[in-house]
């Protein structure tokens, strides 16, 4: 029987040791992967007291489907990164559950973190808020100020509280398109475009330096429709006179001059908000409402 030489035995021992280290590292990696996955997917358990308010505070853009894959979102959550999207379905489910939950006395809308939302999503969420109010419970909107999309949801609240330094900025809908034809000509970039018929505005950013009459007509059609639907919903929710929002958007400089430039006072006097109070008083009002329930 032949025996291995000692250099070969040393090499074989080192190889086995490295193989064991590889397996251990692989196991650690897999355990870490599953830990991140579980942390990201497992929701935090919330203890609800006998009398409470449901806080709806959407962050970023209100969407029908989150971007990215579940692992990326779980990894971001485990790293403490703030997701800049809120799933509409999650908000709707929470409001529906709160409607029949005796522990929930009111829904509080804190909308400062809402960056944007399509009108169809706002309408769906606004309709759910109206159904919630049919249960006899209140909806309260609070904020340092309200943009157009934020105010659509706030308008469906029973009471709207705004900070004394706040402003309600309802400025309608618009569309801005960058045009690159002159830049492409300057860089000597050649391109070929084929279009058939009218209203072919998709390629205009590289073929023009301004908006074509056809694109302007098409854009005006759907923007006017969006603005009309927005005005109709908000004026109905706040019981404002017809045309009130159009006047507010068109003549805000004149309206501000009448109240000495105080944006919060204008919003209150115009009927857009109910009270102008600081944050601590907002919290005190909500605690009082929940406690008295």
pTM reported for the whole predicted model:
0.80
Across 266-285, average pLDDT: 96
| pLDDT, averaged across the chain | 89
Compute the average pLDDT of residues 19-45.
73
pLDDT tens readout for residues 162-220: 999 999 999 899 999 999 999 999 999 988 888 888 888 889 999 999 999 999 999 99
Lowest mean pLDDT among 58-67, 112-121, 216-225, 272-281: 58-67
- The number of beta carbons lying within 10 Å of the beta carbon of residue 217 is 13
Neighbouring C-beta atoms of residue 169, cutoff 10 Å: 16
Which tens digits make up the pLDDT trace of 236-275?
999 999 999 999 999 999 999 999 999 999 999 999 999 9
Average pLDDT over residues 41-51: 70
Residue 65 is classified by DSSP as S
Scanning the chain, the segments in alpha helix (DSSP H) are 6-41, 70-78, 88-99, 119-133, 148-154, 181-186, 204-207, 213-238, 244-250, 252-258, 263-269, 279-292
pLDDT at 153 over 60: yes
pLDDT computed for residue 17 by the predictor: 83
């Amino acid at each position: 029987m032949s025996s291995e030489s000692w250099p070969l035995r040393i090499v074989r021992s080192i190889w086995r040791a490295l193989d064991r280290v590889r397996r251990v590292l692989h196991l650690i990696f897999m355990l870490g992967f599953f830990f991140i996955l579980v942390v990201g997917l497992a929701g935090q358990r919330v203890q609800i007291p006998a009398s409470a308010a449901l806080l709806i505070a959407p962050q970023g853009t209100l969407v029908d489907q989150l971007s990215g894959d579940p692992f990326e979102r779980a990894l971001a959550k485990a790293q403490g990164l703030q997701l800049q999207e809120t799933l509409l379905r999650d908000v709707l489910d929470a409001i529906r559950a709160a409607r029949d939950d005796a522990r929930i006395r009111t829904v509080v809308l804190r909308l400062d973190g809402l960056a944007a939302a399509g009108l169809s999503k706002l309408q769906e969420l606004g309709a759910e808020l109206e159904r919630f109010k049919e249960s006899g419970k209140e909806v309260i909107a609070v904020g340092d100020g309200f943009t157009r999309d934020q105010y659509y949801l706030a308008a469906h609240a029973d009471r709207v509280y705004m900070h004394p330094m706040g402003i309600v900025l309802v400025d309608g809908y618009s569309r801005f398109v960058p045009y690159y034809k002159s830049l492409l000509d300057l860089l000597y970039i050649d391109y070929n475009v084929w279009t058939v018929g009218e209203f072919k505005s998709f390629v205009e950013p590289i073929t023009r330096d301004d908006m074509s009459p056809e694109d302007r007509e098409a854009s005006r059609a759907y923007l006017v429709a969006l603005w009309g639907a927005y005005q109709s919903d908000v004026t109905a929710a706040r019981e404002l006179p017809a045309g009130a929002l159009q006047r507010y958007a068109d003549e805000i400089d004149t309206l501000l001059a009448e109240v000495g430039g105080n944006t919060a006072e204008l919003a209150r006097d115009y009927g857009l908000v109910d009270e102008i109070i600081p944050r601590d008083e907002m919290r005190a009002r909500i605690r009082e409402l929940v406690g008295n329930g």
